[in-house]
Amino acid sequence: MNGPDILNEIWDIIEERACNPSESSYTSKILTHRKGIDKALEKVGEECTEFIIAIKNGDKTRISEEAADVIYHMMLALKGADVPVSSVWDELVSRRN
Ligand SMILES: N=c1c2ncn([C@@H]3O[C@H](COP(=O)(O)OP(=O)(O)OP(=O)(O)O)[C@@H](O)[C@H]3O)c2ncn1[C@@H]1O[C@H](COP(=O)(O)O)[C@@H](O)[C@H]1O
């Protein structure tokens, strides 16, 4: 599976969890949090900080893990803002020169 495929698969799961929340799902926990979108935003901030620290420490495994956390939580924030992840792909495509 390549990068874009896993991102689109995760987005589909996020959409599914938004329609059908599950008790055991972390995705559902964030999407239905009492703080609303602020919880996803809090996690984006936290994970970005951890990503920066991993880069500064030069731990390549940790850098990949933290980057994955940033991307996943950013997708949760996009869902909370009702902005489809496809619009981000479209934006990146439109920037090609
Ligand atoms: N990609 C991810 C993913 N990345 C990170 N995480 C979770 O994000 C959390 C981040 O860790 P932290 O220690 O910062 O947070 P925490 O202490 O667990 O939770 P908080 O109370 O701080 O929010 C961990 O619990 C990870 O499991 C993810 N959880 C789910 N996914 C994807 O979402 C799919 C559905 O997952 P569920 O919704 O859990 O079924 C999975 O199959 C994955 O593809």
Distances (CA, A) of 49 to 44, 53, 54, 56, 80: 9, 6, 9, 11, 21
Report the amino acid identity of residue 6: I
Side chain identity at residue 17, one-letter code? R
Query: How many other CB atoms are found less than 10 A from the CB of residue 44?
Result: 20
Residue 89 alpha carbon to ligand 1 centre in Å:
23
**Spans of all domains in the chain:** 3-94
Q: Please give the ipTM for the structure prediction.
A: 0.91
Task: Say what the pLDDT of residue 85 is.
Answer: 95
Summarised one tens digit per residue, pLDDT across range 50-93 is 999 999 999 999 999 999 999 999 999 999 999 999 999 999 99
Output the CA 45–ligand 1 centroid distance in Å: 15
The verdict on the CB of residue 25 being under 6 Å from ligand 1 is yes
Q: What is the best residue among 26, 34, 47 to mutate for testing ligand 1's pocket, by most ligand atoms within 8 Å of CB?
A: 26
Residue 27 near residue 17, CB atoms below 8 Å: yes
Could you please state the CATH topology (level 3) that the domain comprising 3-94 is classified under: Helix Hairpins (1.10.287)
| pLDDT value for 1 | 75
